[in-house]
Structure 1
């Protein structure tokens, strides 16, 4: 499963003339980051196809739209100066931990924040303890369970199995992950576990 983009960067001349503005650009010429369109709907997919951009689909927000949107993007794609054929990036919410129960607790805390966001309230991610002790209404329980189902949760092996299955099903060119939880330590550990499960080097130069 490719984890890094294969399309090349676009070259762009500096927008400012440093002789006129007194600004020195270093380096004087630079490569523009790859251009891709992030979306979560069929409209986003059609726009990316029309512009000939790579599509990064936010499955962490709208996994229910993933399959149809990617199919629409591929069917409507127009080659451009940026890209000669469709290129699909799938962004997935994940939370891995040494213990499956801890991964679920962290994910539930994040889903709690998303539930509050849907109510127009502060969506700072609470601690797992705060999320567990919250007095949910039936409707709030439904909303948080809906959000929680969007995240791939478990041990590193379980999360990687789910990521691989999604990549194979969608035939994605690239997989992007968002580690969704409460504590920075848990988020860092999730990243570490998933990287180790894929056999990624500790140093990017390796």
Structure 2
């Protein structure tokens, strides 16, 4: 049976943006406020992403922020989208998330990625060893999962041992899709910056999925940029903050999230514009009617079980409005 908009769950991916002229303290307050609204609007999860050495992103200490969001809400699931496992000892991750699950029982998710979430120099500062190319990611995942088993081992995660914390694998290509399928784990795909790989990765995951004690059938969540407003024109203008963020990534000139502009063509070359169009081809931007139509098509094409929405919008109140519009669209589908 084909899924429609009324069949899917909807969640939030927060990069905790630091906007031009503001600071991380304000970003943390805005994230807590957004999470409280999201809980009331019916969002299922609120995930935070690990990034480092990025002036426009304040979510570097991801597990601490998960605790902050969970403490300021009461029922929404809170988790990582994701923890970049190669940056950490699996035991430390198990202890951190064991602590979070103990403090907020039944509300914590652990999404895992294998990218560094930063540049090579910062990766060295984090790890003191950058020889790993991700080939040992399956071994790291296995070690981490073992710390949550109820068995008493020579080294135990306390708290952590015996806790049932949902583990997700995150990816922007086929690698994690295949690993998640082999392990029978839920899979989250980063369509918000890798749209060209979305359908092939989903097919890999579905075609290779092996039922497990965790899941009997595949479960997919797709990360998607959505910017909604009262009109298409207003949404397009708001989206220029997202475009400027990715333009900075292209140029390796990272700055706080910039205010919207009237004309992106004045800021980037035709070559850069083509890269932006490719990177953000999966984004959904527009009025309520436009977003609804594009969301319906997106769910029809991907048959996803859940969407997790990233909205890089400069003004906090307009970011709230965008998420409220999307929630209203799905609730009333």
| TM-score, normalising length: structure 2 | 0.50
* Equivalence for 2:253: 121
* Equivalence for 2:307: 175
Q: Does 1:151 align with 2:283?
A: yes
- Structure 1 portions without partners, runs of 5+: 18-24, 201-206
Shift of 1:83: 1.2
Query: For the residues of structure 2 that align with 1:146 and 1:105, how far apart are their CA atoms?
Result: 19
Residue 137 of structure 1, aligned match among 251, 269, 280: 269
Residue 243 of structure 2, aligned match among 93, 102, 111: 111
Is the Cα–Cα contact under 8 Å of residues 228 and 322 in structure 2 kept in the other structure? yes
Shift of 1:148: 4.2
Is the Cα–Cα contact under 8 Å of residues 49 and 74 in structure 1 kept in the other structure? yes
* Equivalence for 2:171: 39
Q: Does 1:16 align with 2:158?
A: yes
Shift of 1:34: 2.1
Q: Does 1:3 align with 2:3?
A: no
- RMSD of Structure 2 on Structure 1 (CA): 2.9
* Equivalence for 2:183: 51
Decide whether aligned partners of structure 1 residues 191 and 12 sit closer, same or farther in structure 2, where only a CA change above 3 A counts: farther
Query: For the residues of structure 1 that align with 2:289 and 2:219, how far apart are their CA atoms?
Result: 27
| TM-score, normalising length: structure 1 | 0.78
Decide whether aligned partners of structure 1 residues 135 and 66 sit closer, same or farther in structure 2, where only a CA change above 3 A counts: closer
Residue-pair matches, total: 188
Larger-gyration structure (1/2): 1
- Structure 2 portions without partners, runs of 5+: 1-6, 11-43, 45-105, 110-147, 151-155
